[in-house]
Amino acid sequence: MADLLNPAAELADDGHGHGHHEEHHGPTGILKWMTTTDHKIIGLSYTVTSVAMLVIGGLFAEIIRAQLATPDGHLVSLAQYNELFTMHGSVMIYLFAGPFAFGGLANIIVPIQIGAPDMAFPRLNALSYWLYLTGAITMLLGFFTSGGAANFGWVAYAPLSNSLNTPGAGADLWIGGLLLTGFSAIFTGVNLTATIFYLRAPGMTMFRMPIFTWNMLVTAILILLAFPVLTAGLIMLYCDRHFGTHIFSTAGGGVPVLWQHIFWFWGHPEVYILALPFFGMATEIIAVFSKKPVFGYKSMVFATLSIGALSLGVWAHHMFTTGVVLLPFFSIMSLLIAVPTGIKIFNWIGTMWRGELWFSTAMLMSLGFLFTFLIGGLTGVYLASPPLDFFTHDTYFVVAHFHSIVMALVLAGMGGLYFWGPKITGYMLNERLGKAQFWLLFIGTQVFTFPQYILGLDGMPRRVPLYIHNPEWKMLNEWSTIGAVMVGISTIIFVVNVGYSWKRYPAGDNPWDAQTLEWFTTSPPPHHNFYRLPQIRSERPTWDYNHPEHKSLAHGAGAGAEHQPTPLAAAVTVLEHGQDEGPNEGANE
């Protein structure tokens, strides 16, 4: 672990002679890692841990796909299969996608993007990481209990998840692990919200924040609204299992379907808690590699806000087939989400329009994201219609739909690593390996999801290890397995690339001619991120500094009038950097 953190250790050394004395006397090596409150080191720890979770969750997926390559596979038992898909979903959603985005990249990038020295609550940030790591280990420890890991699906529907139907410690470790990572997410949500509201540099008004920061703000607010509900639900579930309550069991007058309401009241905002950060990554990357500003910046912000708002009113579209929810309301709310999502897709294409597209690995990943997300988005519209949901619910059509979405997020996330990795570590990743990884990941994703759409329409249910009555599904399942193997190989290429490129290609401060504030400082940034700041007069201060003759067009009116910087942010910046904003500040280092 200490080795992985070398770049971060170096970054502390860069602070010499700039008035940051704490690191001179601080611990080094593993002790430094364990005691750090630097958002960049914590963010890097999050990134490394969550990518490890991606590998673990991916391994489960490969076993699942191997089992399904034949109608009556004997690779795993029925019980093991239930554990595998439960833990595959749990690891990918709870331990990879969220923490990778809001704990990893957002933690590193957001403070730098808004010109802040660190997160608002650095110690809370450290606590978040340790809760996450502990929670992840706790959940995975289920495999080492006598009853095996949790096996009730990642949604843990009551009453299957009660102590009668799922006895054993694996389920309890799942609940405990999820409680811990849930608190970690809540604390990160608090931290991001406070940082974005209070630590923006002078001149960084709300409507000059990069789209990634905007998306993280909305994500953080959604976390604060949704995760406490899950936490409460998990405590109720634990009480049902161990303290004799009957909240989710009919035996004592409880209501099993209440669990679904609580779970999805968290679970649907969670979909956007996962997705919005990756939308933000793709937005930044597409703009930089088109050499243009984000097209329709303000409509992008309002689209994000409306996705966030709508996401709180659509939870029961996961419950259409329960027969106990108001169908038309949840149907129209869910359909309406297609509108802001569509605005985003058109804005991304608008950003590319008449640009100079540079197909770096990061850009290819983002374009792959756009296409894959389009497929997942279109098939999602079907599922918002109750009759079509009755038709496809709990079949592989749904599995294919959300794997199109989450694989799009994986593509965007990989793009994020290729794009911001040089900023975090100071070194570039190899582009040839990157492009090989992209093509395998992109094509593999389509090869594994498309057969699943067809299988779902042909009636193959989810969560079955056998399809003995339908041997005709074998060929499509084989294709799906081939696609999954391609995705697996692409992940191996990524790990190889990280090893191969280790300290090989120095990045410089701004290798992509990028636009936002994080590219103004050094790679990696110094301990408190900046020695000096440029004037911030738009959402892309670094671009304005480097290309003063190429300002965004049709953006002048009203752009400066929205918000004044908060006094606290101004004061902190003055304290940290010993200077106020003024004309003609220092050169780009």
Partner 1 sequence: MPSFGAQKGVTSESSSVFHLWQGFSIGAVVIGGFVVVIFVYAIVRFRRKGDNIPRQSQYHLPAEVAYTVVPILVVFGLFAATLVVENKEVSNPKTDVIVNVNAFQWGWKFTYPGTHTSVIGQTTQAPTMVIPVNTNVHINLTSTDVLHGFYVKEFNFSRYALPGVLNQFTINAVKTGTFFGQCTQLCGLYHSLMFFNVKVVTMPEYTAWLAKTSNASTSSAAATATNQQTNTGVPTKPATSQGGN
Interacting residues with partner 1 between 16 and 75 (CB under 8 A): 72, 74
Q: How far apart are CA 469 and CA 477, in angstroms?
A: 14
Q: How far is CA 550 from each of CA 293, 440, 557, 585, rounded to the nearest angstrom?
A: 10, 37, 17, 19
Q: By CB under 8 A, name the one of 43, 386, 421, 565 that touches partner 1.
A: 386
The residue (of 420 and 473) whose beta carbon lies closer to partner 1 is 473
Quick one: three-class SS letters along 510-539?
CCCCCCCHHHCCCCCCCCCCCCCCCCCCCC
Residue 148 contacts partner 1 per CB under 8 A: no
Query: 156: closest CA among 177, 133, 185?
Result: 177
Q: By CB under 8 A, name the one of 326, 468, 575, 587 that touches partner 1.
A: 468
Q: Strand, coil or helix: what is 52?
A: helix
Phi-psi label, residue 88: left if phi above 0, alpha if psi -120 to 50, beta otherwise = alpha
The residue (of 153 and 228) whose beta carbon lies closer to partner 1 is 153
Q: Tell me the CB-side half-sphere exposure of residue 415, using CA atoms within 13 A.
A: 32
Residue 472 contacts partner 1 per CB under 8 A: no
Phi-psi label, residue 353: left if phi above 0, alpha if psi -120 to 50, beta otherwise = beta
β-bridge mates for residue 461, sequence order:
395
Question: Residue 362 carries which side chain, given as an amino acid letter?
Answer: A
The residue (of 193 and 347) whose beta carbon lies closer to partner 1 is 347
Structural tokens at position 93: 């959603």
Options 32-40, 88-96, 277-285, 460-468: segment touching partner 1 (CB under 8 A):
460-468
Q: How far apart are CA 412 and CA 406, in angstroms?
A: 10
> Closest distance between partner 1 and the C-beta of residue 351, in Å?
9
Quick one: three-class SS letters along 441-483?
HHHHHHHHHHHHHHHHHCCCECCCCCCCCCHHHHHHHHHHHHH
Site string for partner 1, 236-275 (x = CB under 8 A): --------------x----xxx------------------
The residue (of 125 and 161) whose beta carbon lies closer to partner 1 is 161
Residue 381 contacts partner 1 per CB under 8 A: yes
Cα 319–332–334 angle (5° rounding)?
55
> Closest distance between partner 1 and the C-beta of residue 369, in Å?
12
Options 189-197, 198-206, 222-230, 296-304: segment touching partner 1 (CB under 8 A):
296-304
Q: By CB under 8 A, name the one of 79, 232, 475, 492 that touches partner 1.
A: 79
Residue 293 contacts partner 1 per CB under 8 A: yes
Burial class (CB in 10 A: 0-12, 13-18, 19+), 342: middle
Residue 235 contacts partner 1 per CB under 8 A: no
Residues between 507 and 566 with contacts to partner 1, criterion CB under 8 A: 547, 550-555
> Closest distance between partner 1 and the C-beta of residue 547, in Å?
7
> Closest distance between partner 1 and the C-beta of residue 175, in Å?
17
Phi-psi label, residue 203: left if phi above 0, alpha if psi -120 to 50, beta otherwise = left
The residue (of 49 and 538) whose beta carbon lies closer to partner 1 is 538
CA torsion sign, 473 to 478 to 481 to 487? negative
Residue 378 contacts partner 1 per CB under 8 A: yes
Size of the site for partner 1 (CB under 8 A): 92
Residue 439 contacts partner 1 per CB under 8 A: no
Options 202-210, 409-417, 430-438, 461-469: segment touching partner 1 (CB under 8 A):
461-469
Q: By CB under 8 A, name the one of 159, 277, 426, 541 that touches partner 1.
A: 159
Q: By CB under 8 A, name the one of 1, 34, 235, 464 that touches partner 1.
A: 464
Residue 458 contacts partner 1 per CB under 8 A: yes
The residue (of 321 and 564) whose beta carbon lies closer to partner 1 is 321
Options 205-213, 284-292, 406-414, 519-527: segment touching partner 1 (CB under 8 A):
284-292
The residue (of 100 and 320) whose beta carbon lies closer to partner 1 is 320
Residues between 317 and 376 with contacts to partner 1, criterion CB under 8 A: 321-324, 327-328, 331-332, 335-336, 338-339, 342-343, 345-346, 349-350, 352-359, 367, 370-371, 374-375
Residue 587 contacts partner 1 per CB under 8 A: no
Q: Strand, coil or helix: what is 361?
A: helix
Query: 112: closest CA among 510, 423, 426, 563?
Result: 423
Q: How far apart are CA 328 and CA 548, in angstroms?
A: 52
